[in-house]
């Protein structure tokens, strides 16, 4: 597998620690994810810092609001130079369409490629039982993921964030070219933590994930670089990709 499929989640409360991890993974990991914690602590500078180092940034702020507000947030996110931006697909078709339009307009204005836009389906920390209980539904979680993926595609998004357990169904519904980004990835030796719908990195890649997101197993390791290397090697050992 190419290293370009691994996205390392920088869930830190300060830019210095994030920077340290990025430099430990220098020349080896291309994509980094900045989420609510780091972005709230360090702001757009966090994205700019890593973009200036030549890294690709997934800005994982999971927007979910009325269409006008999300459109504005997506335009601002595109301006930071982020390469990938996401929003909750449950925000609805209109919200996602407004986001696409805003990203197109901002990309044109700045003369940059439009960032990849992803819909978040159902968080990987939620299992079947809590999904049915919290959403007061008898619907199967995977059917809801497939439904939200189809809605995201209809709105014009480039792909979705889903668990590795739903890759097959999303592929069936949305086809080969629709991007699938999967958190909920855990090597066998790593703690699951709050993740519920998980698979190993090699299982996720073999099932057809375009990108896998891994945070704590790498960032919390004594040697993040060696750990990332081991994960990528394990994937190569188990697949032809």
Q: Which of 1, 9, 102, 204 binds ligand C5P (CB under 6 A)?
A: 9
Closest listed residue to residue 157, CA positions, set 97, 71, 233, 222: 97
Q: How many helices (H) and strands (E) does the chain have?
A: 11, 8
62 is catalytic: yes
Q: What is the CA radius of gyration of the chain?
A: 17
Dihedral sign of CA atoms 224, 9, 103, 114 in order? positive
Q: Which of 61, 161, 212, 228 binds ligand C5P (CB under 6 A)?
A: 161
Q: Which of 75, 214, 231, 235 binds ligand C5P (CB under 6 A)?
A: 214
Using rule CB under 6 A, residue 227 touches ligand C5P: no
Type and span of the H or E element at 213: strand 211-214
Looking at the chain, list the stretches that DSSP marks H as alpha helix, in order from N- to C-terminal side: 15-24, 36-42, 44-52, 67-79, 93-110, 128-134, 141-155, 167-174, 201-207, 216-219, 224-238
| Number of shown-chain residues binding ligand C5P (CB under 6 A) | 16
Near ligand C5P in 105-144, by CB under 6 A: 123-124
Residue nearest to ligand C5P (CB): 215
Dihedral sign of CA atoms 225, 227, 233, 235 in order? negative
Q: Which of 85, 213, 228, 232 binds ligand C5P (CB under 6 A)?
A: 213
Q: Which of 164, 183, 201, 224 binds ligand C5P (CB under 6 A)?
A: 183
Q: Which of 1, 5, 6, 11 binds ligand C5P (CB under 6 A)?
A: 11
Using rule CB under 6 A, residue 153 touches ligand C5P: no
Using rule CB under 6 A, residue 195 touches ligand C5P: yes
Using rule CB under 6 A, residue 164 touches ligand C5P: no
45-69 in b/e burial notation, b at 16+ Cβ within 10 A? ebbebbbeeebbbbbbbbbbeebee
Find where tokens 């966090």 sit: 46
Using rule CB under 6 A, residue 60 touches ligand C5P: yes
Q: Which stretch binds ligand C5P (CB under 6 A): 98-106, 131-139, 144-152, 214-222?
A: 214-222
Q: Which is nearer to ligand C5P, 43 or 193 (CB)?
A: 193
| Shortest Å distance, C-beta 173 to ligand C5P | 18
Using CB under 6 A as the criterion, which residues of the chain lie in contact with ligand C5P when the complex forms? 9, 11, 33, 35, 60, 123-124, 161, 183-184, 193, 195, 213-216
Catalytic residues: 62
């Amino acid at each position: 597998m190419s290293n370009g499929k691994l996205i390392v989640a920088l869930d830190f409360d300060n830019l210095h620690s994030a920077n340290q991890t990025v430099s430990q993974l220098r020349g080896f990991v291309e994509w980094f994810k900045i989420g609510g914690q780091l972005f709230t602590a360090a702001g757009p500078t966090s994205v700019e810092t890593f973009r200036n180092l030549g890294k690709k940034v997934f800005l994982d702020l999971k927007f979910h609001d009325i269409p006008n507000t999300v459109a504005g947030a997506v335009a601002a996110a595109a301006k930071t130079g982020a390469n990938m931006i996401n929003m909750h697909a449950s925000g609805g078709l209109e919200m996602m369409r407004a986001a696409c339009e805003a990203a197109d307009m901002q990309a044109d204005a700045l003369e940059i490629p439009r960032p990849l836009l992803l819909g978040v389906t159902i968080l990987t920390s939620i299992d079947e039982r809590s999904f049915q209980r919290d959403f007061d539904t008898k619907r199967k979680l995977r059917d809801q993921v497939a439904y939200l993926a189809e809605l995201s595609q209809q709105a014009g998004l480039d792909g979705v964030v889903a668990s590795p357990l739903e890759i097959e169904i999303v592929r069936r519904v949305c086809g080969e070219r629709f991007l699938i980004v999967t958190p909920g990835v855990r090597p066998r030796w790593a703690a699951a933590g709050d993740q519920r719908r998980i698979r190993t990195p090699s299982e996720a890649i073999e099932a057809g994930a375009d990108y896998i997101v891994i945070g704590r197993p790498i960032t919390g390791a004594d040697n993040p670089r060696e750990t990332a290397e081991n994960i990528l090697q394990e994937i190569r050992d188990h697949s032809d990709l």
